[in-house]
Amino acid sequence: MSEIKLTINGKTCTGQSGQTILEIARAHGIDIPTLCHDDTVAHYGACGICVVEAEGSPKLLRSCSTLAADGMVINTEGERAIQARKIALELLMSDHDGDCRGPCRLTCPAGTDCQAYVKQVALGNTREAVRIVKEKLPLPASIGYVCPHPCEKECRRGLVEEPISIALIKRYMSLDQLDKTDAWKPEKAAPTGKTVGVIGGGPAGLTAAYYLALKGHDVTLTEAMPQMGGMLRYGIPQYRLPKAVVDAEIAQIADVGVKMENGVKIGKDISFADYRAKYDAVIVAIGAWSSTPLRCPGEELEGVYGGIDFLRSVALHDPLPIGKNVAIVGGGNTAMDACRTAVRLGAENVYVIYRRTQDEMPANPEEIEEATEEGVQFKFLTNPAEIIGENGHVTAVKLQVMELGEPDASGRRSPVPVEGKFVTLAVDSVIAAIGQKVNPAGFDLALNKRGIIAADECTFLTDQEGVFAVGDATNKGAGIAIAAIGEASKAADVADSWLKGHIVPYHEPFVSKRVVTAADLADKEKKPRVKITNRPAEERKHDFEPVNDGFSADQAMEEAKRCLECGCHDYGECSLIKHANRYEIHPERFAGEKRHKDLEQKLVVIERDQGKCILCGLCVRVCDEVAKEGLLGLVGRGFGTVVKPEFRDSDRIKVCATCKKCAEACPTGALKIIG
């Protein structure tokens, strides 16, 4: 062999005659993607992902099987090569029938790895479970109490009998580790010398501050209220979320080096311009603290309150006077918190006024059921037409009777007034819990048409350089806490990249999703959900203690073992998904019939999932060339081709049980070692 020189991406590279372009590129630290190549087997060139451009050649070259020649000029990232890779990946992914991530994780707004931490709880390892969840969520115990758990709505266990109680599992494991001296603690990066100011001590602000501090930045968290916690402290009642839990998790955030200052209001105690000048970057996470008005006659009367204002007054131990007869307007979780809080404050008649039916209520069904048990009266298909008063104070509310018309943009049927039909309720107070809005006073930031801070959806940057905005105060407005946390976690990564001099916007990663029906899971053993018992309504409605104690250790483990483990076992090592996210691909362009998704275990300790197989042939070649067994082969022709084993005698089965080389070489997770 003789030495040769070639130029790859403008870099002079040396190699030996007989080496491929791919071998020489890798030797010089140049990455060329490939799926079907393995150094232990002969060159094959099946997948087409490794194509490169060569100066003077009209054709793209497969770098894994093309021998390098002296004087070659190669471009591995040319426009033609990238386009060819994209098409190859799109064709592969259009037929790929696998779950990169379980639907629980994909549905979680924070992207927490529900499947992974649930598995650790099933194994009795709450320490590792907390480590996993804190990759995305620094307040797991608090969220375990209050999250409306959208992850559970998509849990495939629901196709068997009932979804897994993911929120209760998270609550259990987080509380189990909360006070332990050997609980997992994150490692902190070396100091960067950069300073960050985070405005707003709620879920979003706490999250952004936590992750930016872990990245080595000097972070100060500034909050207008007397204590940190935001809506977790001031908007959610004690019976739903004990404040001792909030305190403990905030203390853990402070422990990673976040400086906290309370009672500082932007625009009053310091101007936003002066605050901005103190830091290299600023994260605005001020939440949505103003209640949406009812916009009906009489709402200026004494005794008409906003839902958030009412709940905040109770959290500050100075509850607003509501009297004995209280009407709450709204159908969401804030309305449920308000009505159940009113019951606990001693109100005798508590009404919830909602303009649709119970079926359309956005509140958690559990909250509606528990409120009903506690004596709350629901007035469905009614809407305030006028608030009536005497001497400036509320005495009654006149309700317009409604009926359901056609569905609106949300898919719910629109409420339509029944002309001339009204009912009147005698009340001492009216609490409006129909929504929340942002109060951007004091912040010199551009707003959108809804009066909410405008921030780029990929960079989270506002119209001011180095100022990011997240959570309820931006774009879509008020939502659930886990959504604000998810956005803040992503923004922390983007802000970190900006502070390092090269901003990297957030983009939703591409994943393969499998469509699963109840018929696909018909062979699964039915294991009903582990139930917990609430305290009796007559007992709990007189205090602010938690409604239930959650799971015990045994209950949590039993419930966690119901997990079907939907996500791919090989996601972290899968070359296919890594390359799919390296390039922006659109496999839906080639949508159509997929090959049959067959599972078989003829290899004894290896499960083969034909739906994930991309027919790269690597397993066949490894079995033949490395294991020297030749037990695997491509069966069939064209679209229906599959890889299958062929055993000539029982001894070959024993060989497979100890070899496993095909599974180790598989680039997609189509082969899973199960024993």
Tell me the pLDDT tens digit for each residue of 65-93.
999 999 999 999 999 999 999 999 999 99
Read off the pLDDT of residues 387-420 as tens digits, 9 standing for 90 and up.
Answer: 999 999 999 999 999 999 888 777 778 899 999 9
Dihedral sign, CA of 568, 573, 578, 580? Answer: negative
Read off the pLDDT of residues 317-328 as tens digits, 9 standing for 90 and up.
Answer: 999 999 999 999
Side by side, the strands of the sheet bearing 304-306 are: 304-306, 429-432, 325-329, 349-354, 377-380
Q: Note the pLDDT of residue 596.
A: 65
The label of the residue with tokens 């359309």 reads: 360
The DSSP secondary structure of 459-504, one letter per residue, reads T-B-SSTTEEE-GGGBTT----HHHHHHHHHHHHHHHHHHHTTS--
Portion of the chain with pLDDT greater than 90, in percent? 85
Averaged pLDDT, 116-138: 98
The two structure tokens encoding residue 456: 């780029």
Worst-scoring range by mean pLDDT, 42-51, 231-240, 459-468, 635-644? 635-644
Q: Note the pLDDT of residue 646.
A: 79
Coil, strand, or helix at residue 363?
coil
Q: Note the pLDDT of residue 327.
A: 98
d(CA 456, CA 470) in angstroms, rounded, equals 10
Read off the pLDDT of residues 418-451 as tens digits, 9 standing for 90 and up.
Answer: 999 999 999 999 999 999 999 999 999 999 988 8
Averaged pLDDT, 352-361: 94
Q: Note the pLDDT of residue 408.
A: 77
- Say if residue 61's pLDDT is above 80: yes
Position 639 confidence tier, pLDDT thresholds 50, 70, 90: confident
Q: Note the pLDDT of residue 538.
A: 96
Averaged pLDDT, 145-172: 96
Averaged pLDDT, 502-526: 93
- Say if residue 479's pLDDT is above 80: yes
All structural domains of the chain: 3-95 (3.10.20.740), 291-436 (3.50.50.60), 596-673 (3.30.70.20)
Closest of 146, 178, 149, 175 to residue 253, by C-alpha: 178
User: What residues contact 4, with CB distance under 8 A and at least 6 apart?
Assistant: 14, 15, 16, 17, 68, 69, 70, 71
Q: Note the pLDDT of residue 407.
A: 83
- Say if residue 649's pLDDT is above 90: no
| Residue 150 contacts residue 485 (beta carbons within 8 Å) | no
Tally of CA atoms within 13 A in the half-sphere of 23 that contains its CB: 18
Read off the pLDDT of residues 607-620 as tens digits, 9 standing for 90 and up.
Answer: 889 889 999 999 99
Averaged pLDDT, 532-558: 97
The DSSP secondary structure of 236-291, one letter per residue, reads S-TTTS-HHHHHHHHHHHHHTT-EEEES--BTTTB-HHHHHHTSSEEEE-----EE
Question: Which one has a higher pLDDT value, 485 or 450?
Answer: 485
| Residue 53 contacts residue 60 (beta carbons within 8 Å) | yes
284-306 burial, b if ≥16 CB within 10 A, otherwise e? bbbbbbebbebebebbebebbbb
Q: Note the pLDDT of residue 637.
A: 81
Burial group, residue 543, by CB count within 10 angstroms (0-12, 13-18, 19+): exposed
Worst-scoring range by mean pLDDT, 125-134, 214-223, 300-309, 628-637? 628-637
Q: Are strands 325-329 and 429-432 parallel, antiparallel or unpaired?
A: parallel
